[in-house]
Chains A and B, each alone.
Chain A
Amino acid sequence: MVASLYYCHVSGSVVPIGSDGQPMLALAAKLARNDPLTPAEAETVARLRPMLQITSRRGIAGENLFLALRVMLKRDGRSLVTNEIIDRFSPNMTLIGKDLIIPRDLRSRMGQWVVAVGYSAIHDYELVPKYVPQILESLPYVFDDENAIEFAVSERDRVLPNGEWSRRRDSDRMAQSGNLRPDQI
């Protein structure tokens, strides 16, 4: 089993956000401490927020990133661990256990890790450390030009080499599989 990476759909202009990881983490840390932001950072935050608000209404996948960022913004260190994150991530994400342990050398890259979890379905806990660098390197945060971000969240949601989705969206799947909210029964 491997940790698989998935990418969001790309169409139109591509907006990379923290593609090297580090600026984003530094930003998250700053926000967590309520440190003043540089104009560039403030711009990044301003750019992110409306997207995230929009995407968070677009289903589970969007919510993942929203949550991941929220965690990054509000927490640091190991306290981000598990339930809150895992709870909200994809229903198809295979979980790596309640006591998700972040390898020590990755603690400093926690923010990236959280986002990485949002992007990946990690099937084997033992392999996590091995794949994390790969995950981190492979995080092109891209949005389409309508802010209609759609993340792939399960293995079958893999984006094909030609850029097409290989599967329907989460919202469709929920509807088709007969998942009903309490008020729909």
Chain B
Amino acid sequence: MRWFTTYSGYRWTPEKGYNELFASYVTSIREHFKMRKTNVPGVEKSTSGEWIPHVLQGRRVSVILDRFEWKHYIDDKIVFALHLRVATKRNWLFRLFDRRTSPMNVIFDQDVLVIFTDDFPSEPPKFKILGDRYANINGYHEHHMFRGGVMCIMADSDDWDPDRDNILRAVNAALDWIVWHYYQWGF
């Protein structure tokens, strides 16, 4: 049983169709991050490059989802590809001395895969950060991270309730993790 389609045949492809739940996931991300569709179905871009304010880890940060691709899949697993930027506002004093600098201090600028495993929705999706940003860390446990750049976004098994939680909560948890890691470890 696939969570994202009513198609029950042997091999699913996007042409077989998505269900309403999947569509609601896409539209909720689209609306939350102010995305617009491109000519390619399943690929969306930030409407105006506008930073979306968030409060994460008790801090005011801004987030842009530059690119949102929901067309990807691996066998029966849906994969969202996100390009996320997270930033804090620079100190006004800092800007006073260097007006050329952007007011935003970008603390995260990476591609992230959201992988909906076979256990979804009973288990949350996995967030995997691409690139070598975290390649050299020691002690995955301290970093709340799994091997391969997968964030540990849920504190324990009760943290994700399939009846209550949705994709936006998971994305929010991932953003929270990003901010936490930055302030904890400096990157």
B42–A182 CB distance below 8 A: yes
With A174-B17, A178-B20, A180-B20 as known contacts, state yes or no: A185 contacts B9, CB within 8 Å: no
Which of B6, B19, B41, B71 has the most C-beta atoms of chain A within 10 angstroms of its own C-beta?
B6
- Number of A-B residue pairs at CB separation under 8 A: 58
What is the CA–CA distance of A181 and B18 in the complex, to the nearest angstrom?
Answer: 6
What is the CA–CA distance of A185 and B20 in the complex, to the nearest angstrom?
Answer: 9
A91–B8 CB distance below 8 A: yes
B7–A91 CB distance below 8 A: yes
- Hey, which chain A residues are within 8 Å of B19, CB to CB? 177-180
What is the CA–CA distance of A183 and B70 in the complex, to the nearest angstrom?
Answer: 12
Chain A contact residues (Cβ within 8 angstroms of B): what range? 10 to 19
Interface residue ranges, A against B (CB under 8 Å): 83, 86-87, 89-93, 95, 174, 177-185
Interface CB pairs A-B, < 8 A, 27: A87-B9, A87-B10, A89-B9, A90-B9, A91-B8, A91-B16, A95-B9, A95-B10, A177-B19, A179-B5, A179-B7, A179-B16, A179-B18, A180-B19, A180-B22, A180-B23, A181-B15, A181-B41, A182-B18, A182-B41, A183-B41, A184-B23, A185-B18, A185-B22, A185-B26, A185-B27, A185-B41
Tell me the dominant secondary structure on chain A's binding face: loop
- Hey, which chain B residues are within 8 Å of A177, CB to CB? 6, 19
Chain A residue with the shortest CB-CB distance to B43: A182
As a 0/1 sequence over residues 18 to 52 of chain B, the CB contacts with chain A under 8 angstroms (1 = contact) are: 11101100110000000000000110000000000
